[in-house]
Structure 1
Amino acid sequence: MTPSACPQLCGGLSPSSSSLFPLQTRSGSHFCGGSLINENWVVTAAHCEFNPYSHIVVLGEYDRSSNAESVQVKTVSRAITNPSWNPYTLNNDITLLKLSSPAQLGPRVAPVCLPPTNLALPTNLQCVTTGWGRTNTNSQALAVRLQQVTLPLIALNQCKQYWGNQITSSMLCAGGVGASSCQGDSGGPLVYQNGNVWTLIGIVSWGNSNCNVRTPAIYTRVSQFRNWIDYVVSQA
């Protein structure tokens, strides 16, 4: 299945349960999120620094404290970071993970749709981001159950009022209205619903160090990388 197989084969389920999965150390510590784009590939943030030798992907998890969930623990055969990734500016913050064996798709595990190249998105579009990141700015503790929040897209020129020239065309801004992505959410999705299809438009990248809910957070603009994603998936 290719990432472009839409909408029949992707994006039809709730964003909170089907395509976002935790990236963990082999000892079970959560550090980032990732989104399934087909049965063999997960997309995440480059700054998560996924290491196939020491990290795993857990498919189908909702409650990290539960041992009763039917999860698929997957190792990764290859982690391919975009060649233009810049760890100093956080530009082009995207990595593809090839699962060592295909995901078993079902009600709890389904791919999200990818956007077309350079998809134009309206300001104030209501989007959803999900993750197991910090929920309290006074605590380093990560969420036990998957959290979900709706955020508006912010125009880049408005975003630059907060962040200046750090903002590039490879980024999206969202939030600033009382909720925010936070540490531990990195690599996870920013999606929007079009009809009954959920499309991945952003990857949690960076933001205010204390997760200020009045400051928009920054997401990797997935449509900028659609051609690169298709190329990597087709070659491997």
Structure 2
Amino acid sequence: MNRQQQMLDEISMDAELTAEMTGRSAFSPDTMEAMASVPRNQFVPEELLAQAYYNIPLPIGHGQTISQPYMVALMTDLLDPKPEYNCLEVGTGSGYQAAVLSRLVKKVYSVEINPVLHLQAKARLERLNFNNIDCILGGEKLGFIEHAPYDGILVTAAADQIPPALIDQLTNGGRMLIPVGPQHLGQTLYLVDKNKQGKVNKKPLLAVRFVPLLPVKESSGREPG
């Protein structure tokens, strides 16, 4: 068995183990196919190539990480992506999560606040022909309001609270996955559903560990809540 297939098998096992918390005992064939189609070895530092297909997060420099493959698959699957979706990712990092999601949706807008990581990810995704991803260098505003609203939003860094600015950028009927909580006290992955009438439901799923979301001004002009 090659290392990539072993990674996929471990993702499936983790899905079964966490099913009681996530509601997903198995991820969709489309999600697993997307995971299989993206070469994770292209998204990790050269010195960590031997660990590229381990089911663990890995450092990518600048205090950031490439997420555990299981977590990428979980967040992708829980978004319930559809081919016509326009999605937002907050925290490009290496570009791996954006690459996986791009296999399942029409367009991904991915925002990164670190200029070095932004340029590296942009060049990497262009080289690998992920043509439906727009990499955006983040500024003072959270998210990317210029192309809102989005059918789905993935946040790959932990916020202290669920930011209203991102809920505002979610279309009615859309959903968001976001880790919430400080590193030292523990974090929880939340599924945020916004129904067709604009009512928001926030559901805690399971304990996670992400790097912190760097503070920016709220694009809605409101404080996080």
TM-score by length of 2: 0.29
Higher relative contact order (CA closer than 8 Å, sequence separation 6+)? 1
Q: TM-score, normalised by structure 1?
A: 0.28
Structure richer in strand, relative to its length? 1
